[in-house]
Amino acid sequence: MPMKKILIFLPLIILTQGCLVFHSVSYEVKLDNEKSGNVVVMVNDIRSDAVNTSELEEDKNQLFNFLLKSDDFIQQMKEEGKMITDRRLFNSEGKLKGNINYTFNDISNVEGIVYEEPFYFLTLGVDDSVISTNGELIKSENYKRIMWDSSLTVLKFEMFSADVSSGNLVELTKYLEED
């Protein structure tokens, strides 16, 4: 399963007719104890692969109205054990970025991270591309795993999602100001 299908911000996006794509996503998980804490998720260079005006409007509505503003999104994330404390879209050097902060009471709600003393680990598909981590990346024939020693109080990882510079992707920064 590609990483972008399991990320907090994107499972809802993937289901749209058009599709929002992004260059990378980074997570910073700050632990309060073994199982709870808060997360900062940064989605970089968000674009649409819509092929017509209707799909583009749907992608814009999904991003700017549902994900950014709706209480329904907050409720859906709460049902997943993610209590949203902040969400923003912003222009950074001409690229649309998204930032979401949430708290959690069960580390497994953070993209399936598992705690088994003395380690935290995240299991990924073999095709998922890890850009960086403060943990140790272990690769096998069937999966990749990021492992962190439980002495760490901050777990970090960044994943590559898509080459947004190729193809006919629509840059969405200009629509941020419309909203």
pLDDT tens per residue, range 114-133: 999 999 999 999 999 999 99
8 Å CB contact between 143 and 124: yes
The H or E element that residue 59 is part of is helix 53-60
8 Å CB contact between 63 and 89: yes
Find the mean pLDDT for residues 51-74.
94
- pLDDT band for position 19 (50/70/90)? confident
Closest CA to 48 of 10, 92, 6: 10
Statement: residue 8 has pLDDT above 70: no
Q: What is the pLDDT of residue 4?
A: 35
Of the chain, the percentage scoring pLDDT greater than 90 comes to 82
Statement: residue 167 has pLDDT above 90: no
Statement: residue 67 has pLDDT above 80: yes
CA distance 107 to 120: 9
Containing domain of residue 7, as a range?
Answer: 3-176
Statement: residue 134 has pLDDT above 80: yes
Domain tally, the chain: 1
Statement: residue 6 has pLDDT above 60: no
Q: What is the pLDDT of residue 164?
A: 87
- pLDDT band for position 18 (50/70/90)? low
Higher-scoring residue by pLDDT: 173, 13 = 173
Q: What is the pLDDT of residue 166?
A: 73
Higher-scoring residue by pLDDT: 115, 164 = 115
By mean pLDDT, which of 9-18, 26-35, 117-126, 153-162 is the weakest? 9-18
CB-based contacts of 77: which residues, under 8 Å, 6+ apart? 8, 83, 84, 102
3-state SS, residue 63: helix
8 Å CB contact between 85 and 102: yes
